[in-house]
Structure 1
Amino acid sequence: MPVVTVLRSLMLFALAAVAEIGGAWLIWQGWREHRGLWWIAGGVIALGAYGFVAAFQPAANFGRILAAYGGVFVAGSLIWGMVVDGFRPDRWDLIGAGICLVGVAVIMYAPRAVGS
């Protein structure tokens, strides 16, 4: 897989993570933290945007893309928690996220026969 294609794919995974995690966080803030319906509406819009991002992935298999994205979501959620909520992951959180990201690399970028 060409480097440009891998970089595009990684950028789309990052965008998907911001949209999905950010959308869920906005809904959490609107509902659980009583910030109001505008926060919830923003979350719904962000989650809708997340739904479109996968369509731009260069790989053709939706199941493979979504499975790999699961690992990005795990790591991205920890990063979001650190940056936005002051969460401090322990070594097991970091090891688990690392394992997930290795899974992303294997699922998305391992060499495959043409058409698989």
Structure 2
Amino acid sequence: MTVLRSLLLFALAALAEIGGAWLVWQGWREQRGLAWIVAGVMALAAYGFVATFQPDAHFGRVLAAYGGVFVAGSLIWGVVLDGFRPDRWDLVGAALCLAGVAVIMYAPRG
């Protein structure tokens, strides 16, 4: 159950951080307005709290592992919301990042 909880928290963190950055991007770069930017900043702030609920007590480990989730999640976000089509190297890179997440977070430690 701990691994499942951790994976769900990583997914929530990705939604908050990637979604927040996307909202800021839309508000500023796509000129959708201040409301989009404020919503993005709020989502980014929420992301900052999500990591604190990870079962692992080490900030560096959690944040390093989340980096891999961010890479894969960003590609997925681009596919779903921006029509981005990753090539095989994007997919290989994301798979390597997720393998790193598994090693960093879930390898047996003595």
**Structures share a fold, TM > 0.5?**
yes
Q: Does 1:67 align with 2:64?
A: yes
Q: Does 1:13 align with 2:13?
A: no
**Matched residue, 1:81:** 78
Q: Does 1:101 align with 2:72?
A: no
How many angstroms apart in 2 are the aligned matches of 1:111 and 1:33?
Answer: 45
Question: Which ranges of structure 2 fall in alignment gaps of 5 or more residues?
Answer: none
How far is 1:40 from its partner? 0.1
How far is 1:9 from its partner? 0.1
**Matched residue, 1:23:** 20
After TM superposition, which residue ranges in structure 1, 4 or more long, deviate above 4 angstroms?
A: none
The SS at the match of 1:65 is helix
- The one-letter code sitting in structure 2 at the alignment partner of 1:43 is G
**Matched residue, 2:51:** 54
How far is 1:66 from its partner? 0.1
User: Taking structure 1 as the reference length, what is the TM-score of the superposition?
Assistant: 0.94
How far is 1:18 from its partner? 0.4
User: Taking structure 2 as the reference length, what is the TM-score of the superposition?
Assistant: 1.00
How many angstroms apart in 1 are the aligned matches of 2:43 and 2:51?
Answer: 14
Aligned alpha-carbon RMSD (Å): 0.3
Question: Which ranges of structure 1 fall in alignment gaps of 5 or more residues?
Answer: none
How many angstroms apart in 1 are the aligned matches of 2:63 and 2:55?
Answer: 13
Question: How many pairs were matched up?
Answer: 110
- The one-letter code sitting in structure 2 at the alignment partner of 1:100 is C
Cα offsets for 1:51-91 (capped at 9, x unmatched): 00010000010000000000000000000000000100000
